[in-house]
Structure 1
Amino acid sequence: MTRKTLKKVSGGLIVLGLLVLLFPFFLFGYSKAMSNALREEAESSYNVENSPENPVQELTAYIISEKDKSSDTGETIPAHEEYQTGLYPEPAPELIVQPKNGEVIGMLTIPNLGINEAILEGTGQKELAKAPGHLPDSVFPGQIGTSIIAAHNSSTFRQLDQLEEGMEFSVTTEQGVFTFSVTGQQILNVNDTLPNMAYPAIALETCYPLDALYLTDKRLFVEASLIKSELKPKQKESLN
């Protein structure tokens, strides 16, 4: 190999190395620009305010049964109106229409990390380059089971490990506002799965370690459980 060829090869490797180093910064800038536009769309679409018609449901278990039951007064109580206090808040109902990949489905607000971002349906590269994404195979935020929200460690979730047990964050969707409390963290291999809880739960996922400038085979999960739900009036009507 001639000296001229060596110079070309070394020059190409240097350029390639610079591109690899600069890519996270490009991704961060692109994600920031896209998330700002998506946040405005989400804020206008999913703004939920507390009001007498939109009461807060705290520590109220939602019992799903196959048939109606009778109360002590002899009145028939529909299955969806049977509650038991002390377990978990009223969960989100089933969706009537499933969102398509790339659609804005809500807002993720984490005060401790200064995060207030739109959530897209889907966790492909196209979605995660713009904003946090909801894993379609998991339940919708606020429903019974474990909902998974993923984002890049170079953008939205770059400080995800700072979320400690007891810290709260919320997810706002067309169904209402759902507040979660962090229960813990764990690091898993990329092919490992989380259990689908029997109560409303959520897991925030990102690549680990958080400062990695390359693809990794580890994932950090911050797990949380539902502690408060504020269903929109139309959602409460759908249960009756």
Structure 2
Amino acid sequence: MRVLAYAERLLWTCGLLCAGYCLILVVQAKGTQRFADRIDQPVPTRIASSAAHTTEDVIGRIEIPALALSAPITADYDGSSLHRGVGHIPGTAVPGGLGTVGLAGHRDSFFRPLRRIAAKMEVRLIDKSGTYHYVVDSTEIVSPDKVEVLNIAARPELTLITCFPFDYVGAAPERFIVHAHLLSASPDGVSAIH
């Protein structure tokens, strides 16, 4: 009887610790999302300095209006970054830049809506310089070693990467890729120099 009571207490403790950890991840992700939602707006200096240590790696926000997707873009795609948003793949272009912008995200969190993406959908990348508009060209499913999906194309592009299949339990064997092209190199809100 004592063994069962001990096992029950142990299971309750483990459950509470897991719930607490999940709560911390949700609060952290929500804070990052709030910061990303204001990435293109001026921030008062005293607020910016107090929030800098937790948001310094947030470089922008991705939005796909047709899928109701809005997520922070972090400066890297390591485990910690992907818990708080979609990660920018180092070595790829920055939003609106020449080359291919590479973004990676978890299929069971921020990039879950990608299962419904289709050609001609609009993708917005927002950073401090403004909003860049991309249009989806195609999707494909590839093996994880097919890194050429990030190759530079003839025009500026965006490549979104997540694991596939979406409902797979555990480490997924394939990758779901979204290809989109940039509509204008000038972001919204930035006037051309005459």
TM-score, scaled relative to structure 2: 0.74
* Cα separation, 1, equivalents of 2:128 and 2:68: 22
Matched, 1:210 2:137: no
Q: Is the 8 A contact 2:28 2:84 kept in 1?
A: yes
1:188–1:224 Cα change, 3 Å: same
Deviation, 1:213, is 1.9
Q: Is the 8 A contact 1:153 1:208 kept in 2?
A: yes
Q: How many residues align?
A: 168
* Cα separation, 2, equivalents of 1:226 and 1:26: 41
* 3-state SS, counterpart of residue 154 of structure 1: coil
AA partner of residue 39 (structure 2) = S
User: Where does residue 42 of structure 1 map in the other structure?
Assistant: 36
- Percent of matched pairs sharing the same residue: 24
User: Where does residue 122 of structure 1 map in the other structure?
Assistant: 76
User: Where does residue 175 of structure 1 map in the other structure?
Assistant: 129
Q: Is the 8 A contact 2:39 2:126 kept in 1?
A: no
User: Where does residue 153 of structure 2 map in the other structure?
Assistant: 197
User: Where does residue 89 of structure 2 map in the other structure?
Assistant: 135
User: Which of structure 1's runs of 4+ aligned residues deviate more than 3 A?
Assistant: 25-33
- Could you say which structure has the greater relative contact order, defined with CA pairs below 8 angstroms and 6 or more residues apart? 1
AA partner of residue 155 (structure 2) = Y
User: Where does residue 154 of structure 1 map in the other structure?
Assistant: 108
1:147–1:201 Cα change, 3 Å: same
Q: Is the 8 A contact 1:102 1:122 kept in 2?
A: no
Q: Is the 8 A contact 1:35 1:117 kept in 2?
A: no
* 3-state SS, counterpart of residue 165 of structure 1: coil
Give the number of the structure whose alpha-carbon radius of gyration is greater.
1
TM-score, scaled relative to structure 1: 0.61
C-alpha RMSD of the superposition: 3.1
Q: Which residues of structure 1 form unaligned runs of 5+? A: 1-10, 49-100
